[in-house]
Amino acid sequence: MGHIPFQSRKGYHKEPFGAAQRGTELVFRIVVPREWTCTGAQLLVWRDDVGADAPAPLQSLPMTWERMEGTGEEWWRASVRLDAVGLYWYRFSCDLAQGAWSIGAGESGLGVWGGENAFPLTVYHDEYAEPDWLCGGVIYQIFPDRFFSSGKPKPGVPEDRISRTDWGGEPLTEPIRKPNAPENYDFFGGDLCGIAQKLPYLQSLGVTCIYLNPIFEANSNHRYDTADYSKIDPLLGTEDDFRKLCSAAKSHGIAVILDGVFSHTGADSVYFNRSGRYGTGGAFRDPNSPYRTWYKFDEYPHKYRSWWGVDILPELREEEPGYLDFVTGLPEGTQCNVPSCGIARRWLRAGASGWRLDVADELPDVFLDAFAAAVKAEKPDAYILGEVWEDASEKISYGARRRYLQGGQLDSVMNYPLADAIMDFARGGKAEKLADTIETLQEHYPPRALHLAMNHIGTHDTVRAMALLGGAETDGRKAVTLTQQQRQVAIARIKIAAVLQYTLPGIPCVYYGDEAGLEGGRDPYNRACFPWGNENRELQTHYRMLGKLRREHELFRAAPCKILSAQGGKISFERTGADETLYVHIDAEKNVTQLTINHEQLTL
């Protein structure tokens, strides 16, 4: 019988829009053609408990006839309150003279008569305080070894570190491997004191939060192979340097969040100690080590589970009580048999304002619950950000539906769905796809999660934005140098991508060097040294303007976004706050961007 005009994104079909706080009255309406002779209708609602032992039963709620619209339509209405948090699904059924039919979800929230799918609905609670200090701000991601070196001496650096003196040189593609020894990576010497020296530069960009890739002691330059969670890597400085960085950053209106890598450690660590760098202790060398139960040994000690099969990254049992206590802290009056308990709390006390959780979808709920409780108890407005690459409201991992955004776990996630849509649009993709991604995220995510999402266009895990937008060949691990023509194309496109980052709901995150035109391909070339003295001034001016825009206008904190039009290479949308309205129009085919606030057009 074709399409039925039920659209989940329209207020007269469903109110309130999007995700719902638990206990909120939800009103649903369907519109039925008069000639179909509908004699009754039902709203079908059920909670999705993938992986749960006792899924909630289906609710079938009768809908009441509400009114006639003209002579051709009948409106049917139902309301419901959902008191339990979770991901729900809903659809409708109607009793017709010619039999029963149902309405499910089609493209872009459009109901389809006889469809087998259903509409998703996130029901959440706001248990913890919002990190209000971040709303409307700008995040700047720093890969510490490659941002800036203070040149200060660094005592205590292991002798096997490969120290580079050619800042800006080509990074090693692979670490140097020696028999019976840890892998040796190259280091350019960026450090915490160097970041502190560049705080005025970051402030000029409008940055309000620095996200640091891992800074704890590790063998690699990326430091995702943690060796000691309680120590700053000596190449980066000391704990005192970290405390001073946080204090200095605060005086510039900038907070600092840390990268927490809690699903695995390094094999060359005080906890595992495969190479013996840390003496005779550690899970690998001492069967009585307090750390042994943290790891997943199949045959002790040489066969163990590792992250994605990478043997230098042994997996952790995140739910193991000893490890859980080590990371999240212990109840008052209890003891811990390993040093430096309460890692999450400890570094907040040292000055951090939050954590980004690496591979959050590989951390079990028991860990995320305990981590959030510990962090929020220590600093109620701390920011907890998760690395999730998909729509986090519907994510399933390890056989269970995840509840990251439903309350009590993450404040928000890295916005990879939006990043993909922005980059695709900037490279000539369809505005319709971008618009649908924007509306889907607004519909699926609770308001808190939406406005605290990290809106990036590239990270340490992706191809550099300049290379991707310039159309360079980025397959394989090889250096990418753009031609002059490619560079001009990339600059025009990154301006468009940045405008979308900065004006759509969420917190824009600049990966260090993108604002300076830093080129490069995949890892490790996406982690090259910041080009101090060779920055692209045109791009820096553009980013400064966008940072100033966010700093001066309250609407960027939480104003909703309304798509006005999206067709081909053109998209228009507006955001309306309490006292001001932003209008954005982008023609990606002609590289034209128009911003208007309160009828005042801004020059880009």
Rg (CA), the chain: 26
Does the structure show a pLDDT above 60 at 111? no
The CATH-assigned architecture of domain 3-124 is: Sandwich (2.60)
Q: What are 507's strand-pairing partners?
A: 454
375 dihedral zone (left: phi>0; alpha: psi -120 to 50; beta): alpha
Q: How far is CA 21 from the centre of its chain?
A: 22
* Percent of residues, the chain, with pLDDT higher than 70: 92
Q: State the pLDDT at residue 154.
A: 87
Per-residue CA distances from 533 to 166, 167, 237, 436 (Å): 14, 12, 24, 40
Stated as kind and residue range, the H or E segment containing 564 is: strand 561-567
Q: State the pLDDT at residue 604.
A: 72
User: What is the 3-class SS of 268-303, one letter each residue?
Assistant: CCCCCCCCCCCCCCCCCCCCCCCCHHHECEEECCCE
Please give the single-letter amino acid code of residue 563: I
What's the CA gap between 12 and 15, in Å, rounded? 7
pLDDT tens per residue, range 221-276: 999 999 999 999 999 999 999 999 999 999 999 999 999 999 999 999 999 999 99
pLDDT tens per residue, range 160-190: 889 999 999 999 988 887 766 678 899 999 9
Does the structure show a pLDDT above 90 at 457? yes
Please give the single-letter amino acid code of residue 86: G
Q: What angle do CA 198, 204, 210 make, to 5 degrees?
A: 55
**CA dihedral in degrees (416, 422, 425, 430; nearest 10)?**
70
Stated as kind and residue range, the H or E segment containing 239 is: helix 239-251
What's the CA gap between 525 and 478, in Å, rounded? 7
Structure tokens at 229: 């969670």
Per DSSP bridges, beta strands 581-587 and 570-576 are: antiparallel
Reported residue count of the chain is 604
What's the CA gap between 143 and 137, in Å, rounded? 20
pTM: predicted TM-score of the whole model, two decimal places: 0.94
pLDDT tens per residue, range 343-388: 999 999 999 999 999 999 999 999 999 999 999 999 999 999 999 9
Contacts of 423 (CB under 8 A, 6+ apart): 457, 465, 468, 469, 497
Q: What are 37's strand-pairing partners?
A: none
Question: Is the link from the previous residue into 560 a cis peptide, with omega within 30 of 0?
Answer: no
Q: State the pLDDT at residue 386.
A: 98
Does the structure show a pLDDT above 80 at 400? yes
pLDDT tens per residue, range 63-79: 999 998 777 889 999 99
pLDDT tens per residue, range 406-443: 999 999 999 999 999 999 999 999 999 999 999 999 99
Instruction: Answer whether 13's CB lies under 8 Å from 6's CB.
Output: yes
Per-residue CA distances from 291 to 231, 303, 333 (Å): 17, 16, 22
Does the structure show a pLDDT above 80 at 337? no
Note the CATH number of domain 264-317.
3.90.400
Residue 528 DSSP symbol = P
Closest listed residue to residue 212, CA positions, set 186, 241, 251: 241
pLDDT tier for residue 2 given thresholds of 50, 70 and 90: very low
Q: State the pLDDT at residue 113.
A: 37
pLDDT tens per residue, range 272-298: 999 999 999 999 999 999 999 999 999
pLDDT tens per residue, range 24-59: 999 999 988 888 788 889 999 998 877 655 556 678
Does the structure show a pLDDT above 60 at 115? no
Instruction: Answer whether 282's CB lies under 8 Å from 293's CB.
Output: no
Q: State the pLDDT at residue 355.
A: 98
pLDDT tens per residue, range 305-315: 999 999 999 99
How do the domains of the chain map onto residue ranges? 3-124, 264-317, 560-602
pLDDT tier for residue 109 given thresholds of 50, 70 and 90: very low
